[in-house]
Chains A and B, each alone.
Chain A
Amino acid sequence: MSCGTGGSSCETPRRRGAFVVLAILAVIFVVLSVFSFLKSRNQVTPDTVSFGAYQAADGKRVFQAYNCMGCHTMVGNGAYLGPDLTKEYHRAGPAWLAAFLPSAGGWPTKAAVRAQLLDPNQQADAGTDSIDAYLKKFPGAAERIERRGGGTTMMPNLPLTKDEIGQLIAYLKYTSAMNTEGWPPKVEVDGFDHRVQLAHGMVAAAQAAPAPAAPTAAAPATVDPVAHGAQLVKDNGCVACHATSDKRLVGPGWGGLYNSTVKLADGSTVIADDAYLRESIRQPNAKIVAGYPTGVMPAYDALLKDDEVNAIVAYLHSLEKQ
């Protein structure tokens, strides 16, 4: 830096020395940066990670397109409205993410996660097709289902397509595999219940984790099919995507749907009768309603028995247009 006014106030030698130090620091910074990205560092890169046919590199683009970082943090950077996503795949696993992402406004139930595990792609990635083994492998998913399953979240539903969901899972798989030098720090306080209790106190802990209202008990045959259907849609987490009014959430609303005329994506129309509704539950991608993405809803063919499907249809019949 020159000194326009000249004279001794320039203290030139000292200033020159400062520039030399600055140059040395710049060299140090460049050398450290080069070492940070050498192959020998063995840091995982997105081009080596995939979830089935979906590439992590594509998932990163989806992540940016939806500005996920505007609410969540990723490697701790971003906004602080929602949880950090770096290790989400590691904690909750692919099937839970696949059940959550299409209808982010609701917490997936156990049945909703199990429905995802029917997908061979999911089975291969999770390493199991059994929901119990899955929940053991991904305790984050178990905790979410038990404490939050069927409830509403703080997150708005996003118009994610089937491919985007797969790509996002691949991306989260990549970030989970990254070496982030021990961040986020490992939790060392023992016992989940103990930790909830530390956060909320004794009484609140008892309220926070109520015993799940035993949905497993098979409905007696005498039960009204409409009530049975209502219980089934709750247990299976259907209402995370479908409103009981005619409002669109993620999928079409149910209010007044029964026997109405539905326009399909291929341009044809169909009456939403018993046969159509049964098919749409068993094989949802056989007929897609116009304006809705394909492949977002899992097939419930193998999960629901005939009488259960009929009960759900009966329940849908009972819902009027609002």
Chain B
Amino acid sequence: MQIEFQTQRLSMRFFMLMLVLFVLQVGYGLLLSLQQTDPTVLAGVMNFNVARAEHLNLGILWILCGFIGAILFVGPLLAKREMVAPWLIKLLFYAVIVIAVWNFFTLRLAQFGIAGWWQGQPWLQQGLEYLEAGRIAGVLVLIGFAILAYVVLRTFPPVREWNEIHWGLGLGVSALMAVWVFGLFYVARLDLQEYFRWFVVHYWVEGVWEVIHITLVGFLLVLMFKVDVKSVGFAVFWGVMLVWLSGLIGNAHHYFWIGTPEFWQFWGSLFSALEPLPLVFCFWHIYLDAHVNKRPLENAPAFYFILGSVVLEQIGAGILGFTMTFALTNVWSHGTWVTPGHAHLALFGTFGMLGIAAAYYAVPLLRKVPNYDQRLGKLAFWLVLTGVLGMAFSFAIGGTVQIYVYRILGLDWFGGDVARSMGVFKLMLPMFGVVFATGAGVLAYDLLTLGRRVAVPAGTDGHGEAAAVHPGTRWSRPLSGFEAGIWLMMMWIFGTIITLGLLSFNLPRVRVAGDPTLPYLLAGVGYPGLLLVTLLFVWRFLASMEARAKTTVAAPSLLRVLPAQA
């Protein structure tokens, strides 16, 4: 495939900016993990809350950069013409940089208690989780979203001619802007403030980002495997629809304990338990799309990260989200380290990896090096995957200990009781953080310098030796649908064990007698089991895909398993 439209090249700068912001964000993450083990690190210079605000804000910004890059790359292909108003896109690029730098200076003001109150609004920073940036940055972000929505919608053909991919991206970029508005007002009541804060945070992730994610994954698969757009359209429509059907009221799982009435516990438990459905659907579809025609894997890192995105979505958002979605389990997991385990997998996994995948797909094409050296990209993938799974493990087990000491025993001395009991897991966090950061460094280096390093000689296999067969496991044999189903079932079995572990905190034996054996045992089996199965499954899936590189038979895509109409 070659670049057909000049405006596709605008995506390059967003991918590069994404990498820079990503590396910075990982740096803040490492600092935070050190401060978790020793809170005096940089105390008074860069307090934990400032570093965390930067960590969250950069996380959102680089994921958005990945989205924008991917949308700019596929936009002209979908519209079959150049993007309109490239100057606006260039303006958007500089706006993102200005916002990132502005936030670097304004978020620090939290150490001095300066919010910049004027007209009842905090203009410089507002100290709300995920929405730390002040109103000035908030308005700039809104303008940025408006530019993106305008450019995409103006570039697309008339609505009559839209297929599901157009609809997904069109709705995605519009809703991105619409939902953001709920975060632009100061709310005096705590319960109402949290109610609207989750409008932005939950509906962004579950209602908007997820839509963009499903659509982009679908279209990237169309590009990579030459899959039929119509059948992907089926998956995109029902993926998006299931996301909305479950996620709309699923937001209620944030309304259990914020001061809103008890009835939310019923609605939230019911509907957010359905939230994994679209993720299972999406997971199953990537299996079908990748396996139905036996095309060789041309761009391995790009597919690695797409697979990582869909699998970690299944694990992080789907299964780990499911475990803490019921009022009876959420009452324990809420406000503990158990939740960031889910959040890191879901956010980095689902959305971060998608941006990286899009970059790995687009950058070689933009730099005209289709036969690039793919080894660094694969290495980076395994490093970040292992790193983020390990971090999730540390968070989840550390959080289980935290629930016991803090909530069951009611000891609230973090320095003397809680942190002390969590000590081992607080140390494991920076350890896996270093693995992750190494991977982040490798992939940033690889993508930044791709095509500028020594090129792979023509005719050599850019995959390197990893494409060799796996004689020990025989994992190079094709992955059947049955086997994939078994893997998925194993993940859910471990997910059930984790859920039962959280549920067991309600037992009198734990809650009244103070015996943590059962929850510890179930968490100790469930979390490592789930994360290990995930790692092995990704390994198995990719081994079967890699083996295709050897056989260059490109079968025509007649063998569609999933019909477009049921």
Contact = CB atoms under 8 A, between A and B. Distances in A.
Contacts of B255: 36
A187 B404 CA distance: 10
B415 to A, nearest CB: 5
Nearest to B508: A188
Given A65-B114, A65-B122, A198-B409, A1 B190 contact: no
Contacts of A276: none
B483 interface: no
Nearest to A72: B49
Contacts of A1: 164, 167, 237
A132 interface: no
B207 to A, nearest CB: 11
B256 A200 contact: no
B110 interface: yes
B416 A164 contact: no
Given A1-B167, A4-B162, A22 B129 contact: no
B127 interface: yes
A81 B414 contact: yes
A140 B410 CA distance: 11
Contacts, number: 254
Interface in B273-329: none
Contact of B415 (A4, A154, A159): A154
Interface stretch (A117-125, A174-182, A281-289): A174-182
B49 A83 contact: no
A195 interface: yes
Nearest to B45: A156
B416 A159 contact: no
Given A64-B127, A70-B129, A189 B409 contact: yes
B340 interface: yes
Contact of A22 (B188, B233, B245): B245
A322 B110 CA distance: 31
Interface in A51-69: 57, 60-69
Interface of B: 35-36, 39-40, 43-44, 47-50, 52-53, 107, 110-115, 117, 122, 125-129, 132, 159-164, 166-167, 188-192, 194-195, 197, 229-230, 233-234, 237, 241, 244-245, 248-249, 251-252, 255-265, 267, 271, 331-332, 334-337, 339-340, 399, 402, 405-421, 511-514, 564-566
18 contacts: A1-B237, A3-B233, A5-B229, A9-B565, A18-B241, A45-B188, A66-B127, A67-B49, A67-B132, A68-B127, A70-B53, A71-B52, A79-B49, A156-B43, A178-B191, A180-B259, A189-B514, A195-B409
Interface of A: 1-5, 8-9, 11, 15, 18, 21-22, 25-26, 28-29, 32-33, 35-37, 41, 43, 45-47, 57, 60-71, 73-84, 91, 140, 144, 147-148, 153-160, 164, 174-175, 178-185, 187-189, 194-196, 198-200, 208
